[in-house]
C-alpha cells in the first residue's frame, strides 16, 4: 500500500526513532496524564470550605440560628466561634480565616421589635474574585434568612411588602462545580501546547544533529517531508486525546452528553492545527532550545488566558477578544464544552470545525512554504 | 575561600550583564509584564450577556427587565419562545436568561409575592454563581422600590419589618481592586520563574559548554560553585523585584504603604534562595537545555498552582492540600500578602517564616548534597 | 556493482570566482577550480577555512554571494533540485547524519527509500556495500552503538546506496581510526577505478592529501595553492631549508607573504615552573590497570603506563579510543571503575586538593568563558588559584606574550580565531605555574601555522621542566612527543618512542614500495592480483614489502609485460598510520575484522 515511498519512509523512520527513545516516548505519553491529574485536582475555581470565625456578642438562639445558616452550607467552615471581643482582625491578618462575622449584642431584641439589625462581615480582600464570591454567597444566605423572617412577621402583623423571588437554575452544570468546566477546558489547553511542544523539536533536532542534510540533498519534495514528519506527532496527540478523555470520564466524572465520534473528529482537526504549529516553530528556528521556548510561550500562556478557559470570551475586553479570535484553542474550547455539557454536535459547531480546518491547513502550508531545502 | 568565591562571583555578574537579551527579558518580566497582568486581569462579572424572556409583558415586568443593565448585565436579546431561549444558551450567545412568567404582575399585586427565573449557563460555574447572586439582588431592590411607589412601604427601613442587614467590609482591599491582587500574584510568579530558571540555565550551560570540567580540575569545591551561582542570581532577582515594586506596583497601581519592607525583603531573600535551590537541583539532573526546559515545565506549574495563588487551598481535596505544603510559594505568598497588603508583622507570620526556612534549608541541603555527589 | 549511467558532461564540476559571505563576513573568497570525471579532488584546510561552505554550495543547500558553479552539467544555483538526483553528500562529523536509534539495515533502507532506488538495484548495492565495509555482521545493531569508524563507514554506505556519479564528502576521516580509514579509502578507490566516480572531499589532515589526485589548500576562504600533491611538495622543498617535504610546509610557505608572523618570537619563560622536589623520585604519572565502564560499555580497559617527570608524553588515537576518558580520570573529573592512578606518587583520591593546585588542564573543546574577555578569563583563573595580586599582575603579561595575545587583551574569547583561542586556553591552564599539564586534543582543527606555534609553546614548557601529557588524533604530531601511547578501543596497543615504534612495525611488516604510473588505474588492477595488500594512494600504488629489492624487480617486470608505463618505484619508510595499524592488528588479530 505504498502510495508515496519517500513520505512513507520519513514517516516510518520518525515513528521508529520516537518509539526507541524511551525517555521521549514516556514524556510524550505520560506527562499529559500527569498534568491532567495535577491540574484537574489542583485547579479548582470553587470557593468552598472558607475558614470562618464568628464573634457572637448576642448568644441567643436566633443568633446561633443565623450562624448555623452560614456555616452549614458547604461554602463556609467554622474555624472559631467566639463570644468575647476577640482578635478577629488579627486572625484575618495572619491568614487563618478568610471571613469574620460579627453579630451585635442586641441582635435578637432588635429583630423582635421588627427593626433591622446589622451584621458585619469582614472579608479577606487579598483575592478579589474570591472576596466577591464570598460576598455573594453571604448575601444569598442572608436573603433567605430575611425572607423567612419577613413572612413570619407578615403573618403576625398583616403587613404586606412586595417580594420577588428569583429562582436560579444553572443549565448544563446544575451543581455549578468548577471541575465540570475546568476538566474539559484542560483537554483543550493541554492538547494545544503539549503536541505543539512535542512537534517543536521534530525538525530542529535534525538540524542540530546534521541529519537534515540527508533531506536537503535528496530529491524528496517539501510536502512529502513535512507530512511524513507531522503524522507521527499527530498520532501521539490522538493517543493523548483518548487518555485525557478517559480521565475526564472515569477519574473526574465529568458529564459527557454529546457524541464521542464528533468530538474525536474535531480533536483530530484541532491536533492537526496544534502539531503543525509546533512543526512550524521547528522549521523556523535553528536550535531546539529556541524552538521549545518560543512554542511554550506562544501556546501555553495564550491557551490558558485567552481561549475562554477561565473567563468567557464575550466578557473580555476588545484586545483580549482579538487575541481569542486568532487562537485555534478558542474555537475548540467552545466546541468541547458544548459537546461535554450541552450535548451539542455538528449542527451547531460546524463553523468551529471549519475554522479549525482552516487553521490546520494554514499552518501546514506555512510549514511547507517555510521549509527551505537549504541551510541558513 | 573568599578569594575563590569572589573570583567566581565576579564572573557570574560579568556574564549576566554581558547578556543583553537576558537583561532585557528580566527587565521586561519584572516591569511591563507585571503592568500588563495587573491591568488585564479581571474575573468579575461585567457585560454578562443576557436575554430577557418576558412572558408577562406588563408594565412591571418591563420595568424589572430594565433593571438588568450595565455594568453587570448586557441585554442583547428579547426572546419569545422556549426553543429560542434554548438555542441562545446552547450556542453560548447569552449566558443568562431572565424568565418572567405569565401572571407576574398579577401575583405581585394580589399576593405580594411573585417568582421569576434566572437561568444561567453553568459552564463557567464561578461567574454563573456571581451573576445569579446579582440577579437576586436586583430583583429584591426592585421589589422594595415597588413597595415604596405603591405606598406599602414607607422609605426607610423601620417599616420593612425585621431584617438582618449584612454589612460586608472587604478588608485590606476595600474597593476590591483587582490590580493589587493581579500585579502581586504576577510578581510572585515571576520571582519564582526567574529564580528557578536563571541558575538552572546558567548551570546547564556550563555543563553543555564543558566549562564546568575546567572548574572542577581547579581547587574550587562544588559548594563554592553552587554558592556563587545562588548568591549572584538571588541578588539579581532581589534587585529586579524591588524595581517592580517601586516602579510599577506602588506608583502605578497605588498599593498602600503598609507593612515593613525590610521584613518583606528578608522573606523574599529567603524565598529566592530556596527557589534557586530548586533550579540548581534541576541542573544536577539535566544534561541539556531542552531537557531542563521540559523538566521546568513539569515543576513550575505545580509550584504556582499549589500555592493558593490561583486556587483557594480550602477547596482542594485533602490529599492535594497536603501536597501544597511542599510548595515554597505557599509560605511566601502568605507572608508577602500579609506584609504588603495587611501590614502584618513578624509575630503574626512567624509560623510561615519557619515553614519557608525549613523548606528552604531542606532544598538547599539536598542541592548541596547532590552537587557534592555529582561534581565531587 | 551496478554500472551507473554516466553523464558525459565534462568537467563534472566547474567553479568560477565563487564567494560566500555570512552577514558581510566573507567565508569563501573567489575560489575557482574544475574537476574531471573520475578524479579525487581534496580541499585541504583548517576549521573555519570555508571548506563546508564550498561543499554546501556545490550540493545546492547553500546560496552563493557571488560567482558561478556548474555541477553535473547543471547550474547549481539556478536549479539545485536538478543537481540533487546526481549526487551523494556526506556531511561533517562522525556519522552525524545517521539516525542513532535505527539499525544499520534501517538506516540504509531509509536512504534507499529517500532516493527511490529500484528494489533489485537496491538489494544488490546494499549487499555489496555492507560486505566491503564489513558491516554485514552488524545489520541489526543500532547506529548509536557503533564505533566512530563503523559509523563513518555506515554513513558512506548510505551516501553511496544510489551509486551517485559524483560524491561530496565533508571531512570524512577526521578522528576516524586508522583501520576504518584504510577501509574507507579502499571503497573510494574502488568506485573511482571501477565506476569512474568523481570524488570531492575536504580534510584537515594534510598527510591525507597524497591520497588525492589533485588538491587545493584553503585558508581563510581563499585557495592559496592548487595542484598535484607531489608537484606542490617539490616546489616547496626547493625553498625550504632543511625542512622535510610536506604539505604543511607548502601551506606555511604559501601563507608567509601575506602574514607578518614570519618567525614568531620565542619568548623565554623564566620561572615557569620551579623544578620538582627531587626527593619524590616517583614518576609524574603512574597508572595501573585503569578501567572505566559506562553501563555495559567499557571506555577504558586496563590501561597501565608511566610518565616520567619532565617528559612530553603523547596519547595518539582516533575519536572514541578512550583518550579523553583517561585524562578525565587522571584529573579527577571522572572516578575510575577500576585500577588506580598516582600523580607524583600521591593517590589521586586521597590527596585531591593538594594535587589540584599542581595541575593544569585544557579540555577537549574550547571551554573558556566566551562572554568574558581575554584578561577577564585569565583573572578568573588567577582568583580561583588564589594567586597574589602582585604576582598576577606580573604573570598576566608574561602569559599574553607567550601566547602571542598582546593587543587582544579586551577581546571576547568567543570572537578569537580557533588557533588563538586554544593558546588562551593553554595560557589559563598554565597561569598558576603547574608542574603537570594535561592537554586534551589542543590542536584539533587548528590551521598548520597555529599548530606549529602551539607545539613551539609546548616545547618551551617542556624545556622549563613541566611534565606534559597531550592527546591528539593527528598521526603527524607523534614526532613532537618523546614517548607515545597508541590507544585503540579503550586499550593501549603500544607505548614507546615514535622511532622505536616505527622500527618495530617495520621489522614485522616491511617497508613500502611506492609505485607511480600514468596509467595507475590499470596498473593497480593488475598488481592487486599479485600483491593482495596493494592500495591506491591518490594516483600512486602502495605495496608493503619484506623484500623491497626483489619485489621492485617483480613489479617492474609485471608492468612491462602488460605494457604499462612506469614513472618510478620508491622505497619509503612506514608512516605513523601504518605503524599504528600494525600494532592494532598485533594486539588483537581479530580486531581488523570487527571494526
Q: If DSSP states are collapsed to H, E and C, what string results for C440-461?
A: ECCCCCCCHHHHHHHHHHHHHH
Q: Check residue A329 and give its pLDDT.
A: 96
Q: Which of C383, C387, C391, C410 to mutate to test the interface with B (most CBs of B within 10 A)?
A: C383
What is the predicted ipTM? Answer: 0.79
C557 burial via Cβ count (<10 Å: 0-12, 13-18, 19+): exposed
Handedness of CA C387, C388, C389, C393 (dihedral sign): negative
Who's near C417: CB < 8 A, 6+ residues apart? C48, C450
Contact (CB<8Å) C101/A20:
yes
CATH number of the domain enclosing A149: 3.40.1710.10
Do residues C229 and C40 lie in contact, with contact meaning Cβ atoms separated by under 8 Å?
A: no
CA distance A258 to A265: 13
Are A39 and A60 members of one domain?
Answer: no
For residue B71, whether the previous peptide bond is cis, meaning omega lies within 30 degrees of 0, is yes
Residues of chain B with pLDDT under 50: none
Handedness of CA A301, A302, A305, A309 (dihedral sign): negative
Q: Check residue C280 and give its pLDDT.
A: 53
C109 CB neighbours in chain A (<8 A) are 9
Contact (CB<8Å) A176/B122:
yes
Residues recorded for chain A: 376
Who's near A206: CB < 8 A, 6+ residues apart? A212, A215
Contact (CB<8Å) A163/B112:
yes
User: Buried (b) or exposed (e) across A283-304, using 16+ Cβ within 10 A?
Assistant: bbbeebbebbbebbebbbebbb
B7 CB neighbours in chain C (<8 A) are 379-380, 382-384
Who's near C347: CB < 8 A, 6+ residues apart? C340
Q: Which of A62, A127, A343 to mutate to test the interface with B (most CBs of B within 10 A)?
A: A127
CA distance C345 to C435: 13
Q: Check residue C107 and give its pLDDT.
A: 95
C384 CB neighbours in chain B (<8 A) are 4, 7-8, 215, 218-220
Contact (CB<8Å) A289/B132:
no
Contact (CB<8Å) B19/C333:
no
Are A39 and A62 members of one domain?
Answer: no
Q: What's the domain range around A330?
A: 5-44+177-370
Where are the domains positioned within chain C? 13-227, 230-259, 285-498, 502-592
Number of CB pairs, chain B paired with chain C, less than 8 A apart: 70
Of A13, A209, A374, the CB nearest to C63: A374
Are A12 and A97 members of one domain?
Answer: no
Q: Which three cell numbers stand for residue A284?
A: 523556523
CA distance C71 to C76: 6
- Equal CATH topology for C13-227 and C502-592: no
Of B14, B15, B217, the CB nearest to C361: B217
Q: Which three cell numbers stand for residue A322?
A: 482579538
Do residues C525 and C559 lie in contact, with contact meaning Cβ atoms separated by under 8 Å?
A: no
Are A116 and A245 members of one domain?
Answer: no
B4 CB neighbours in chain C (<8 A) are 383-384, 386
Contact (CB<8Å) B3/C386:
yes
Domain boundary among A101, A127, A157: A157
Residue in the structure block whose three cell numbers are 556563587: B228
Q: Which three cell numbers stand for residue C401?
A: 606574550
Nearest residue in B to A167, CA atom:
B117
Kind of pairing, strands C359-362 and C346-347? unpaired
Are A190 and A236 members of one domain?
Answer: yes
CA distance A18 to C101: 9
Answer yes or no: is pLDDT of C524 > 70.
yes
Q: Which CATH class is domain C502-592?
A: alpha beta
In a domain, A221, yes or no: yes
Min Cα distance C363 → chain B (Å) is: 7
H-state helical runs in A95-211: 107-112, 128-157, 179-199, 202-209
Nearest residue in C to B373, CA atom:
C335
CA distance B7 to A219: 55
In a domain, A297, yes or no: yes
Nearest residue in B to A172, CA atom:
B122
Q: Check residue C263 and give its pLDDT.
A: 46
Q: Once rounded to an integer, what is the mean pLDDT over residues C108-130?
A: 92
Domain(s) labelled CATH 3.40.1710.10 in chain B stretch across 48-160
Answer yes or no: is pLDDT of C273 > 50.
no
The three-state secondary structure class of A56 is strand
The sheet carrying C222-227 orders its strands as C87-90, C166-169, C198-203, C40-44, C214-219, C222-227
The sheet carrying C483-488 orders its strands as C359-362, C436-440, C467-472, C312-316, C483-488, C491-496
Per residue in C356-368, pLDDT (tens digit) is: 888 899 987 767 8
Contact (CB<8Å) A374/C61:
yes
Contact (CB<8Å) B108/A47:
no
CATH number of C285-498: 3.40.50.300
Domain boundary among A93, A128, A157: A157
Min Cα distance B9 → chain C (Å) is: 10
CA distance A49 to A73: 9
Nearest residue in A to C111, CA atom:
A214
Who's near C365: CB < 8 A, 6+ residues apart? B209, B210
Q: Which of C351, C369, C376, C421 to mutate to test the interface with B (most CBs of B within 10 A)?
A: C369
CA distance B303 to B326: 8
CATH number of B48-160: 3.40.1710.10
Do residues B244 and B187 lie in contact, with contact meaning Cβ atoms separated by under 8 Å?
A: yes
H or E element: which one contains C299? Answer: strand C297-307
Kind of pairing, strands C66-71 and C74-75? antiparallel
Contact (CB<8Å) A45/B126:
yes
Q: Which three cell numbers stand for residue A62?
A: 436566633
Q: Once rounded to an integer, what is the mean pLDDT over residues C324-330?
A: 91
Q: How confident is the model at residue C591 (pLDDT cuts 50, 70, 90)?
A: very low
CA distance A193 to C66: 43
C142 CB neighbours in chain A (<8 A) are 20
Are A316 and A351 members of one domain?
Answer: yes
In a domain, A119, yes or no: yes
Min Cα distance C175 → chain B (Å) is: 20
Q: Check residue A367 and give its pLDDT.
A: 96
Of A5, A20, A217, the CB nearest to C87: A217
Kind of pairing, strands C338-343 and B113-121? unpaired
Min Cα distance B21 → chain C (Å) is: 13
B partners (3+ CB pairs within 8 A) are: A, C
The CA-CA-CA angle for residues C10, C11, C15, to 5°, reads 145
Q: Which three cell numbers stand for residue A266?
A: 474535531
Are A105 and A224 members of one domain?
Answer: no
A 186-225 residues with CB below 8 A of C? Answer: 209-211, 213-220
Cα end-to-end distance, chain C, whole Å: 23
Handedness of CA A169, A174, A178, A184 (dihedral sign): negative
In a domain, A170, yes or no: no
Are A340 and A216 members of one domain?
Answer: yes
Of C97, C102, C111, the CB nearest to A210: C97
Are A118 and A229 members of one domain?
Answer: no
Of C80, C93, C97, the CB nearest to A214: C97
CA distance A330 to A356: 10
CA distance B157 to C534: 116
Of A89, A201, A310, the CB nearest to B43: A310
Are A226 and A283 members of one domain?
Answer: yes
Neighbours of B177 (CB within 10 A): 16
Neighbours of C466 (CB within 10 A): 25
Task: Calculate the CA B55 to chain-centre distance.
Answer: 43
Min Cα distance C80 → chain A (Å) is: 9
Q: Check residue B155 and give its pLDDT.
A: 54
Task: Calculate the CA A134 to chain-centre distance.
Answer: 21
Instruction: Tell me which fold the domain C13-227 belongs to.
Output: Rossmann fold (3.40.50)
CA distance C523 to C521: 5
Nearest residue in A to C159, CA atom:
A214
Of C56, C113, C116, the CB nearest to A375: C56
Min Cα distance A42 → chain B (Å) is: 6
The percent helix, strand, coil of chain A (3-state, each to 5) is 65, 10, 25
φ/ψ of C14, rounded to 5, equals -140, 120
Residue in the structure block whose three cell numbers are 551496478: C2
Who's near A318: CB < 8 A, 6+ residues apart? none
Mean pLDDT, chain C, as a whole number? 85
Are A206 and A272 members of one domain?
Answer: yes
Contact (CB<8Å) C115/A21:
no
Residues facing residue C470 across a β-bridge: C314, C439
Answer yes or no: is pLDDT of C239 > 70.
no
The three-state secondary structure class of B187 is helix
Q: Check residue B42 and give its pLDDT.
A: 59
Q: Check residue C590 and give its pLDDT.
A: 53
Q: What is the mean pLDDT of each run of 10 residues along chain A (376 residues)?
A: 82 92 86 87 81 90 90 86 75 84 90 86 83 86 84 73 78 82 93 93 88 90 94 96 95 92 97 96 86 84 84 76 91 94 90 96 96 82
Question: Minimal CA–CA distance to C219: which of C45, C56, C54?
Answer: C45
Answer yes or no: is pLDDT of C594 > 50.
no
Nearest residue in B to A168, CA atom:
B118
Residues facing residue A315 across a β-bridge: none
Asked if the C-beta of A147 comes within 8 angstroms of chain C's C-beta atoms, the answer is no
Q: Which three cell numbers stand for residue A169?
A: 437554575
Q: Which three cell numbers stand for residue A122?
A: 469582614
Of B4, B8, B213, the CB nearest to C363: B213
Are A227 and A302 members of one domain?
Answer: yes
A41 CB neighbours in chain B (<8 A) are 316-317, 319-320
Contact (CB<8Å) A51/B314:
yes
Q: Which three cell numbers stand for residue A265?
A: 473528529
Of B14, B209, B215, the CB nearest to C376: B14
Number of CB pairs, chain A paired with chain C, less than 8 A apart: 81
Give helix then strand counts, H and E, for chain C: 18, 24
The tally of domains found in chain A comes to 2
B324 burial via Cβ count (<10 Å: 0-12, 13-18, 19+): buried
Q: What is the 3-state secondary structure (H, E, C) of A182-202?
A: HHHHHHHHHHHHHHHHHHCCH
Could you give the C-alpha distances from C574 to C213, C316, C507, C571, in angstroms and in order? 21, 17, 10, 10
Q: Check residue C7 and give its pLDDT.
A: 47
CA distance A321 to A307: 9
Min Cα distance B15 → chain C (Å) is: 6
The CA-CA-CA angle for residues B153, B156, B161, to 5°, reads 60
In a domain, A318, yes or no: yes
φ/ψ of C58, rounded to 5, equals -70, -25
CA distance B282 to B291: 10
Amino acid at each position: 500500500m505504498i502510495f508515496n515511498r519517500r513520505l512513507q519512509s520519513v514517516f516510518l523512520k520518525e515513528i521508529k526513532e520516537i518509539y526507541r527513545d524511551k525517555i521521549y516516548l514516556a514524556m510524550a505519553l505520560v506527562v499529559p496524564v500527569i498534568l491532567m491529574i495535577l491540574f484537574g485536582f489542583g485547579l479548582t475555581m470553587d470557593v468552598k470550605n472558607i475558614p470562618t470565625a464568628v464573634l457572637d456578642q448576642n448568644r441567643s438562639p436566633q443568633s446561633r440560628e443565623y450562624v448555623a445558616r452560614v456555616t452549614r452550607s458547604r461554602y463556609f467552615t467554622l474555624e472559631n466561634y467566639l463570644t468575647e471581643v476577640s482578635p478577629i482582625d488579627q486572625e484575618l491578618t495572619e491568614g487563618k480565616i478568610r471571613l469574620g462575622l460579627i453579630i451585635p449584642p442586641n441582635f435578637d431584641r432588635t429583630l423582635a421589635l421588627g427593626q433591622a439589625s446589622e451584621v458585619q462581615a469582614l472579608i479577606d480582600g487579598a483575592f478579589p474574585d474570591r472576596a466577591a464570591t464570598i460576598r455573594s454567597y453571604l448575601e444569598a444566605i442572608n436573603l433567605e434568612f430575611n425572607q423567612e423572617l419577613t413572612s413570619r412577621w407578615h403573618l403576625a402583623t398583616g403587613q404586606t411588602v412586595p417580594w420577588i423571588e428569583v429562582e436560579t437554575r444553572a443549565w448544563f452544570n446544575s451543581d455549578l462545580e468548577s471541575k465540570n468546566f475546568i476538566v474539559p477546558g484542560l483537554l483543550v489547553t493541554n492538547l494545544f501546547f503539549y503536541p505543539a511542544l512535542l512537534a517543536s523539536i521534530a525538525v530542529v533536532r535534525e538540524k542540530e544533529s546534521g541529519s537534515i542534510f540527508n533531506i536537503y540533498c535528496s530529491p524528496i519534495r517539501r510536502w512529502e517531508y513535512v507530512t511524513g514528519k507531522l503524522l507521527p506527532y499527530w498520532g501521539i496527540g490522538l493517543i493523548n486525546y483518548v487518555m485525557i478523555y478517559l480521565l475526564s470520564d472515569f477519574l473526574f466524572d465529568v458529564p459527557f452528553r454529546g457524541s464521542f465520534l464528533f468530538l474525536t473528529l474535531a480533536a483530530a482537526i484541532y491536533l492537526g492545527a496544534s502539531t503543525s504549529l509546533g512543526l512550524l516553530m521547528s522549521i523556523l528556528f535553528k536550535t531546539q532550545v529556541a524552538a521549545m521556548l518560543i512554542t511554550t510561550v506562544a501556546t501555553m500562556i495564550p491557551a490558558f488566558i485567552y481561549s475562554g478557559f477561565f473567563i468567557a470570551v464575550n466578557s473580555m475586553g476588545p484586545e483580549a477578544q482579538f487575541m481569542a479570535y486568532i487562537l485555534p484553542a478558542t474555537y475548540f474550547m467552545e466546541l468541547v464544552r458544548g459537546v461535554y455539557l450541552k450535548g451539542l454536535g455538528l449542527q451547531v459547531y460546524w463553523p468551529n470545525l471549519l475554522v479549525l480546518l482552516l487553521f490546520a491547513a494554514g499552518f501546514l502550508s506555512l510549514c511547507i512554504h517555510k521549509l527551505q531545502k537549504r541551510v541558513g | 575561600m573568599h578569594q575563590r568565591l569572589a573570583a567566581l562571583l565576579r564572573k557570574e555578574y560579568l556574564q549576566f550583564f554581558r547578556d543583553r537579551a537576558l537583561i532585557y527579558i528580566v527587565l521586561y518580566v519584572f516591569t511591563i509584564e507585571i503592568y500588563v497582568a495587573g491591568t488585564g486581569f479581571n474575573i468579575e462579572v461585567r457585560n454578562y450577556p443576557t436575554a430577557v424572556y418576558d412572558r408577562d409583558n406588563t408594565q412591571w415586568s418591563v420595568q424589572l427587565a430594565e433593571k438588568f443593565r450595565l455594568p453587570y448585565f448586557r441585554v442583547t436579546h428579547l426572546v419569545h419562545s422556549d426553543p429560542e431561549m434554548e438555542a441562545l444558551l446552547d450556542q453560548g450567545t447569552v449566558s443568562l436568561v431572565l424568565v418572567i412568567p405569565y401572571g407576574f404582575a398579577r401575583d405581585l399585586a394580589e399576593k405580594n409575592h411573585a417568582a421569576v427565573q434566572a437561568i444561567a449557563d453553568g459552564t463557567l460555574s464561578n461567574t454563573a454563581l456571581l451573576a445569579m447572586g446579582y440577579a437576586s439582588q436586583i430583583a429584591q431592590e426592585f421589589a422594595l422600590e415597588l413597595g415604596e411607589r405603591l405606598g406599602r412601604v414607607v422609605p426607610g427601613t423601620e417599616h420593612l419589618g425585621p431584617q438582618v442587614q449584612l454589612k460586608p467590609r472587604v478588608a485590606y482591599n476595600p474597593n476590591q481592586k483587582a490590580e493589587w491582587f493581579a500585579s502581586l500574584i504576577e510578581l510572585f510568579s515571576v520571582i519564582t520563574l526567574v529564580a528557578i530558571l536563571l541558575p538552572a540555565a546558567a548551570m546547564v550551560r556550563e555543563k553543555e559548554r564543558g566549562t564546568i570540567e575546567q572548574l572542577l580540575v581547579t581547587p574550587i569545591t562544588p559548594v563554592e560553585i553552587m554558592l556563587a551561582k545562588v548568591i549572584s542570581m538571588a541578588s539579581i532577582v532581589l534587585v529586579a523585584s524591588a524595581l517592580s515594586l517601586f516602579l510599577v506596583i506602588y506608583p502605578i497601581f497605588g498599593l498602600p504603604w503598609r507593612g515593613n519592607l525590610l521584613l518583606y525583603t528578608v522573606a523574599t531573600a529567603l524565598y529566592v534562595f530556596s527557589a534557586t535551590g530548586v533550579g540548581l537541583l534541576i541542573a544536577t539532573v539535566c544534561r541539556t537545555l531542552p531537557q531542563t526546559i521540559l523538566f521546568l515545565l513539569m515543576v513550575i506549574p505545580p509550584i504556582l498552582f499549589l500555592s493558593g495563588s490561583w486556587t483557594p487551598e480550602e477547596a482542594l481535596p485533602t490529599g492535594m492540600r497536603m501536597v501544597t505544603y511542599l510548595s515554597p510559594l505557599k509560605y511566601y505568598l502568605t507572608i508577602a500578602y500579609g506584609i504588603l497588603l495587611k501590614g502584618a508583622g513578624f509575630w503574626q507570620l512567624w509560623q510561615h517564616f519557619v515553614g519557608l526556612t525549613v523548606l528552604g534549608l531542606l532544598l538547599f541541603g539536598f542541592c548541596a548534597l547532590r552537587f557534592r555527589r555529582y561534581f565531587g | 556493482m551496478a554500472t551507473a549511467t554516466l553523464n558525459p558532461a565534462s568537467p563534472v564540476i566547474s567553479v568560477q570566482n565563487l564567494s560566500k559571505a555570512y552577514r558581510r563576513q566573507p567565508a569563501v573568497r573567489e575560489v575557482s577550480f574544475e574537476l574531471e570525471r573520475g578524479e579525487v579532488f581534496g580541499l585541504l584546510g583548517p576549521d573555519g577555512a570555508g571548506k563546508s561552505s564550498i561543499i554546501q554550495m556545490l550540493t545546492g543547500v547553500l546560496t552563493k554571494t557571488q560567482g558561478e558553479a556548474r555541477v553535473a552539467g547543471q547550474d547549481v544555483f539556478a536549479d539545485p533540485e536538478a543537481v540533487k538526483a546526481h549526487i551523494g553528500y556526506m556531511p561533517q562529523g562522525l556519522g552525524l547524519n545517521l539516525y542513532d536509534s535505527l539499525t544499520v539495515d534501517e538506516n540504509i533502507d531509509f536512504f534507499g527509500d529517500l532516493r527511490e532506488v529500484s528494489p533489485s538495484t537496491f538489494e544488490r548495492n546494499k549487499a555489496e556495500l555492507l560486505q566491503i565495509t564489513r558491516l554485514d555482521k552488524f545489520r541489526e545493531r543500532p547506529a548509536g552503538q557503533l564505533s566512530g569508524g563503523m559509523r563513518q563507514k555506515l554513513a558512506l554506505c548510505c551516501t553511496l546506496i544510489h551509486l551517485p556519479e559524483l560524491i561530496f564528502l565533508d571531512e570524512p576521516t577526521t578522528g576516524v581510526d586508522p583501520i576504518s580509514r584504510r577501509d574507507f579509502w579502499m571503497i573510494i578507490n574502488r568506485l573511482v577505478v571501477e565506476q569512474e566516480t568523481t570524488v570531492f572531499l575536504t580534510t584537515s589532515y594534510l598527510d591525507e592529501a597524497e591520497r588525492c589526485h589533485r588538491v587545493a589548500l584553503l585558508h581563510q576562504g581563499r585557495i592559496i595553492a592548487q595542484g598535484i600533491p607531489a608537484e606542490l611538495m617539490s616546489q616547496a622543498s626547493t625553498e625550504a631549508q632543511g625542512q622535510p617535504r610536506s604539505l604543511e610546509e607548502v601551506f606555511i610557505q604559501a601563507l608567509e607573504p601575506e602574514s607578518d608572523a614570519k618567525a614568531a618570537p620565542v619568548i623565554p619563560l623564566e620561572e615557569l615552573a620551579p623544578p620538582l622536589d627531587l626527593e619524590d623520585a616517583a614518576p609524574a604519572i603512574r597508572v595501573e590497570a585503569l578501567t572505566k565502564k559506562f553501563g555495559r560499555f567499557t571506555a577504558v580497559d586496563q590501561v597501565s603506563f608511566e610518565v616520567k617527570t619532565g617528559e612530553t608524553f603523547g596519547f595518539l588515537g582516533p575519536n572514541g579510543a578512550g583518550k579523553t576518558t583517561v585524562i578525565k580520570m587522571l584529573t579527577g573529573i571522572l572516578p575510575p571503575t577500576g585500577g588506580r592512578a598516582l600523580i607524583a606518587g600521591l593517590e589521586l583520591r586521597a590527596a585531591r586538593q593538594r594535587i589540584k593546585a599542581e595541575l593544569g588542564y585544557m579540555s577537549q573543546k574550547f571551554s573558556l568563558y566566551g562572554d568574558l574577555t581575554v584578561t577577564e578569563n585569565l583573572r578568573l583563573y588567577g582568583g580561583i588559584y588564589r594567586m597574589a595580586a602582585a604576582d598576577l599582575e606580573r604573570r598576566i603579561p608574561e602569559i599574553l606574550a607567550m601566547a602571542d595575545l598582546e593587543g587582544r587583551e579586551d577581546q571576547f574569547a568567543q570572537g578569537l580565531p580557533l588557533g588563538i583561542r586554544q593558546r588562551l586556553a593553554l595560557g589559563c591552564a598554565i597561569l598558576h605555574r603547574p608542574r603537570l599539564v594535561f592537554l586534551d586534543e589542543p590542536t584539533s582543527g587548528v590551521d598548520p601555522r597555529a599548530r606549529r606555534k602551539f607545539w613551539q609553546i609546548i616545547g618551551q614548557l617542556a624545556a622549563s621542566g613541566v611534565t606534559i601529557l597531550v592527546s591528539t588524533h593527528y598521526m603527524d604530531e607523534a614526532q613532537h612527543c618523546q614517548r607515545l601511547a597508541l590507544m585503540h578501543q579503550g586499550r593501549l596497543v603500544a607505548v614507546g618512542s615514535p622511532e622505536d615504534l616505527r622500527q618495530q612495525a617495520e621489522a614485522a611488516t616491511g617497508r613500502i614500495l611506492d609505485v607511480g604510473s600514468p596509467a595507475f588505474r590499470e596498473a593497480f588492477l593488475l598488481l592487486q592480483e599479485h600483491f593482495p595488500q596493494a592500495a591506491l594512494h591518490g594516483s600512486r600504488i602502495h605495496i608493503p614489502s619484506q623484500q623491497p629489492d626483489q619485489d621492485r624487480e617483480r613489479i617492474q617486470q609485471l608492468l612491462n609485460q602488460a605494457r604499462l608505463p612506469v614513472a618510478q618505484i620508491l622505497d619509503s619508510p612506514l608512516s605513523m598510520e601504518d605503524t599504528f595499524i600494525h600494532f592494532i592488528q598485533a594486539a588483537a588479530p581479530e580486531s581488523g575484522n570487527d571494526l
